[in-house]
Amino acid sequence: METLRFRHATTRPLPGTRPSAITGVVASGNLEVLLERNLPPDACHVEIDTAINGYAEVWAAVVADFVARRQPGGLTITINDGGARPDTVSLRLAQGARLMELP
Amino acid sequence: MDWKPVALSASPLAQSWYEASARARLAGLLDTDTFEEFIGPEQRMMSPHLPLFALPRAFDDGMIVGRGRLDGRDVLAAAQEGRFMGGAFGEIHGAKLVGLLRAALAVKPAAVLILFDTGGVRLQEANAGETAIAEIMRAITQVRAAGIPVIGLIGGRAGCYGGGGLIAGTCVRLVISEGGRLSVSGPEVIETNKGAEEFDSRDRALVWRTMGGKHRRLLGAADAFADDTIGAFRAAASAAIPAAPAFDLETLEAEQARLAARIARFGDARDATEIWSRLGVNDPDAVPGLTTEGFDALLDSLPEGSHDAR
Amino acid sequence: MMDWRQERTAREARLERARRCADGKVVPAARVVDLLEAILQPGDRVCLEGDNQKQADCLARGLSACDPARVHDLHMVQSGIVLPEHLDIFEQGIAKRLDYSYSGPQGGRIARMLYGGQIELGAVHTYLELFARYFIDLTPNVALIAGVSADRDGNLYTGPNTEDTPTVVEATAFKNGVVVAQVNAIVDRVPRVDIPGDRVDFVVEADKPFYVEPLFTRDPGAVTETQILMAMMAIKGIYAEYGIRRLNHGIGFGTAAIELLLPTYAERLGLKGRIATHWALNPHPSLIPAIESGWVKQIHCFGSEVGMDKYIRARPDVFFTGSDGSLRSNRAFCQTAGLYACDLFIGSTLQIDLQGHSSTVTTNRVAGFGGAPNMGSDPHGRRHPSDTWMKAGQEAGGTGDPALRRGRKLVVQLVETFGDKLVPAFVERLDALELAKKLDLELAPVMVYADDVTHIVTEEGIANLLLCRTLDEREQAIRGVAGYTDVGRGRDHAEVERLRARGIIRRPEDLGIEPLDADRSLLAARSIKDLVHWSGGLYEPPAKFRNW
């Protein structure tokens, strides 16, 4: 197991008012993403518990791209990872951000 | 807090129960926006054992419990997430269900619904899991004795196996779909202990014919057969609440007599199709291929009728 | 005096020797070895019908039981190396030289045998190439083929899996060769005549029905959300954009996902009738929901698929069927159709390099080509226009009079950036080059060459290579959709953003694709059982795909 933490500054808050959302499930090749709106609008924190060690660099890149594309200001994102491929992680993050934007 | 599942197809009721997540099942099963979760994922009540085995945890430990309404009736509901650790019972997972059942004694809902999706007990926390199974069965009998029906719904990927199968046996009504499987020992366990000649776990048709929803319904182990949609499970669960018999000596004796008659009548059968044939099914080999409408028609045509008791 | 009839005389001699094994044309299975030893001569060119699906397995067993002292040094010319016997005969010395197309299941063993020098390799072909050479310089002396039934005159019913048979027989029978067919049954009257009896010299009643592999069945239960996302991108960003009506799909879960999204996602986009109407395709079970929803006008097939026979019989407006009602497939014609009459090929691959060359070869397997390189190539002999073809041609650019510019076929690679076990699909250098070096091959086994690929679709986006004007742009376009592979992470971020601004790279958000739609509930069928229901019970999946 490995725990990774990333702190990013964002230029704007993620739209919407939903306080939290959860998507995905912890299973082989899958992950769950819990999003909570509890930070200042210019900050996004991501914490990952992953079953597979040694991919910190890839996680950093996936998270940085997500933050750059979506600007998820105000969110704490916590991930339980069952060994998902980067594409699955990106998709879950995109889905989580969309859930937080829904009315 | 408002925990919405991922928005799926236009109508949540049309979604496949087998495919849906535990959260999506609950959201669609209960009246719209009425589900209120206890100990939600934000509380991060996770397994204390899994990190010792370098295994990832889930925020809800694969068990989602809460209250909501079903056709306007207040109910308590618990759903297992079959994709996390095969829906297996661990300490937190089990404790959440025990707590829900004990709460039922206090809040007196119209029913408690258990959405099974489990392979049994989690090996990594087996003692806690086994204890939980026993506590759950005891709690269910207490809830039923208080006049509250406990209804099991089975149609998930993991089926309902091991301790889950035992718990299902204590429910007053069981709803099952074709994809649902109900048993105590799983196919692989039987093969490992008795050999592939006895039970070939890779023969998927054999597995479903022996443990699947159609067989369980024909045999009277389940009381209702539902299409694999959230809407069908919702309708069947709602219909099961008023149909539940009282939990008294008379019911238990009738149940004992029913089970004794069943083993006497079918105990020597070598294959599920033999049982179906003895039940009066003209073309047993056609049963697995029947659509839900076809299977419902078959059930109506059989002399047995329903298998009451429990 | 020149003898112009030497081949004919030799044929008569072979037939004369073989007649003692036969009652008329009919030979019992027990006498197959005698028959083959009587017909075959050392050094013969032999086609032992091994197709993509159907296998002349009884004759293959017979050939490998022949005495290598009598039958040896054969030159095998067949499209598929599929059964163990196809390679056993090289170990036994019965066969020596090989020209073939596809060796899926035997890819590992064939590589070892090539490396060990047990096989003298002519070339690895595409189907059409090998078929073409049957008529020029690889004409078989003897063809050993498979059919469902025959009458005593040799009239042959191939059943739905006609596949390569007409081509093989054409080349052999009309050039003084001998044709032996194995059939499951000898009947008084065949349901239809696929091969006329005067082209078949002997008919063997096989000990068991010929083997067919269900190669084109993809269980919808295994389609992932990433594949659904990619399928949405392909539909919206390519099918809709170019109005693709005439097409071929490779096998794979990505293309199965597209097929399963036609009646749902594509229907929602209002694309029915505007895309995916005419197909060169095996009868994929995953296309059933689209057919049943009225999307598909017609399908011509290379071969059939196990379990689809009854369904096909009930849909003669869609499929090519014979007077008996069953499917008539034909690999040579369907390959030609895919090459010249389709505007798009979309398929998957294992490796793509920085230029866009792709290969399914790994260092230890020679899987061959099959048909993908024909489908996945721009036919320079094409002369008829279509909107799709012309639009792609315009995007590819060029100078001079527009009326002198040719169109382009769309060749799309649909790949997830990481495959099984996190193996990257994007690489700096193809394993095929390593293999070519190791086996001393003149040509590296490339499935689709870079200059034929027009688009690459990954979960990260679509790269339109037609619009790239320099090699550097092309490389960055490929890196720009290569995700978190080393190739993808080696991108020039600023250049990739410039390519995105020009529409060369398009992300799901650029295409207006909702990530929440990437869900299995979007599939028209989520299980094999769903497909059976869609077919009204006509599709009969093989046991390994059933769980009921």
Provide the residue range defining the domain that includes B36: 12-246
Which residue among A58, A91, A95 sits closest to C484, beta carbon to beta carbon?
Answer: A58
Which CATH architecture group holds A2-101? 2-Layer Sandwich (3.30)
SS3 state of residue C147: strand
Residue C548 has pLDDT above 90, yes or no: no
Count other C-beta atoms under 10 Å from residue C203's C-beta: 27
Q: Is residue B269 part of a domain?
A: no
Q: Is residue B285 part of a domain?
A: no
Subunits with 3+ C-beta pairs closer than 8 A to A: B, C
Å between B22 CA and nearest CA of chain C = 15
Model pLDDT, residue C139: 98
> Chain C 222-241, CB below 8 Å of chain A: which residues?
225-226, 229
Q: Is residue B259 part of a domain?
A: no
Which residue among C416, C418, C515 sits closest to A94, beta carbon to beta carbon?
Answer: C515
Q: What residue segments make up the domains of chain A, in order of their start?
A: 2-101
Provide CB contacts within 8 A for C521, sequence distance 6+.
B8, B9, B15, B16, B19
Range of lowest pLDDT (B79-83, B193-197, C5-9, C389-393):
B193-197
Model pLDDT, residue B304: 67
Contacts of C526 in chain B (CB under 8 A): 16, 19
Interchain contact B291–C (C-beta under 8 A)? yes
Cα angle B143, B145, B147; round to 5 = 80
Model pLDDT, residue B6: 33
Which residue among B7, B42, B81 sits closest to A25, beta carbon to beta carbon?
Answer: B81
Model pLDDT, residue B306: 57
CA within 13 Å, CB half, B186? 16
Q: What is the pLDDT of residues C412-466, one digit of tens each?
A: 999 999 988 889 999 999 999 988 888 888 888 899 999 999 999 999 999 999 9
The residue among C284, C243, C286 whose CA lies nearest residue C266 is C243
> Tokens standing for A67?
């933050």
- Which of B46, B49, B83 is the best residue to mutate to test the A interface, defined by the most A CB atoms within 10 Å of its own CB? B83
Contact assessment for residue C242 and residue C391, using Cβ atoms and an 8 Å cutoff: yes
CATH for B145: 3.90.226.10
Interchain contact C543–B (C-beta under 8 A)? yes
Residue B7 has pLDDT above 50, yes or no: no
A96: nearest CA partner in chain B: B6
Task: Output b/e per residue, B229-268; b: 16+ Cβ within 10 A.
Answer: bbbbbbbbbbebbeebbebeeebeeeeeeeeeeeeeeeee
Q: Do the chains contact at B288 and C548, CB–CB below 8 Å?
A: yes
Strand bridging mode C351-352 / C358-359: antiparallel
Stretches where chain A sits below pLDDT 50 are: none
| DSSP assigned state of C498 | H
Look up residue C273 and give its amino acid: G
Contact assessment for residue B40 and residue B3, using Cβ atoms and an 8 Å cutoff: yes
Which residue among A23, A49, A82 sits closest to B6, beta carbon to beta carbon?
Answer: A23
Radius of gyration of the CA atoms of chain C, in A: 24
Model pLDDT, residue C546: 85
Judged on CB neighbours under 10 Å (0-12, 13-18, 19+), A53 is exposed
Q: Which residue has the tokens 């004796």?
A: B253
Across chain B, the runs of DSSP E, i.e. the strands, are 36-38, 63-70, 73-80, 111-116, 150-154, 173-177, 224-226
Q: Is residue B6 part of a domain?
A: no
Q: Do the chains contact at B81 and A82, CB–CB below 8 Å?
A: no
Q: Do the chains contact at C519 and B289, CB–CB below 8 Å?
A: no
Contacts of C543 in chain B (CB under 8 A): 205
Interchain contact C279–A (C-beta under 8 A)? no
Q: Where are the alpha helices (DSSP H) in C252-368?
A: 253-261, 267-268, 288-292, 309-313, 331-340
Model pLDDT, residue B10: 60
φ, ψ for residue B35, nearest 5 deg: -75, 130
Q: What is the pLDDT of residues B249-301, one digit of tens each?
A: 999 999 999 999 999 999 999 999 999 999 999 999 999 988 899 999 999 99
d(CA C176, CA A16): 79
Q: Do the chains contact at C537 and B289, CB–CB below 8 Å?
A: yes
Å between C292 CA and nearest CA of chain B = 18
Judged on CB neighbours under 10 Å (0-12, 13-18, 19+), C167 is buried
Q: How many domains in chain B?
A: 1
Categorize the per-residue pLDDT at C469 as very low, low, confident or very high, splitting at 50, 70 and 90.
very high
Which residue among C516, C526, C548 sits closest to B16, beta carbon to beta carbon?
Answer: C526
Categorize the per-residue pLDDT at B8 as very low, low, confident or very high, splitting at 50, 70 and 90.
very low
| Length of chain A (residues) | 103
d(CA C330, CA C344): 20
d(CA B59, CA B55): 13
**Which ipTM did the prediction report?**
0.95
Contacts of B44 in chain A (CB under 8 A): 78
Q: Do the chains contact at A26 and B84, CB–CB below 8 Å?
A: yes
Q: Is residue B83 part of a domain?
A: yes
Categorize the per-residue pLDDT at C185 as very low, low, confident or very high, splitting at 50, 70 and 90.
very high
> Tokens standing for B60?
């809800």
Å between A54 CA and nearest CA of chain B = 14
Q: Do the chains contact at B208 and C516, CB–CB below 8 Å?
A: no
| DSSP assigned state of C262 | I
Å between A22 CA and nearest CA of chain B = 7
> Tokens standing for B179?
């994809």
Look up residue C448 and give its amino acid: V
Whole-angstrom CA distances from C482 to A64, C414, C460 are 16, 12, 7
Give the pLDDT mean for B50-55.
95
Which residue among A20, A23, A80 sits closest to B56, beta carbon to beta carbon?
Answer: A80
> Tokens standing for B63?
């068990």
The residue among C358, C408, C362 whose CA lies nearest residue C382 is C408
Model pLDDT, residue C543: 86
CA within 13 Å, CB half, C359? 25
Mean pLDDT in chain B?
93
Judged on CB neighbours under 10 Å (0-12, 13-18, 19+), C424 is middle
Look up residue C168 and give its amino acid: V
> Chain A 65-84, CB below 8 Å of chain C: which residues?
69
Q: What is the pLDDT of residues C147-156, one digit of tens each?
A: 999 999 999 9
pTM of the model: 0.94
Q: Is residue B48 part of a domain?
A: yes
Which residue among C229, C484, C516 sits closest to A86, beta carbon to beta carbon?
Answer: C484
| DSSP assigned state of B246 | P
Model pLDDT, residue B3: 34
Q: What is the pLDDT of residues B74-119, one digit of tens each?
A: 999 999 999 999 999 999 999 999 999 999 999 999 999 999 999 9
Interchain contact B8–A (C-beta under 8 A)? no
φ, ψ for residue C149, nearest 5 deg: -150, 160
Helix B126-145 with B163-170: angle, nearest 10 deg: 10
Subunits with 3+ C-beta pairs closer than 8 A to C: A, B
Interchain contact C483–A (C-beta under 8 A)? yes
B52: nearest CA partner in chain A: A1
Q: Is residue B238 part of a domain?
A: yes
Model pLDDT, residue B1: 31
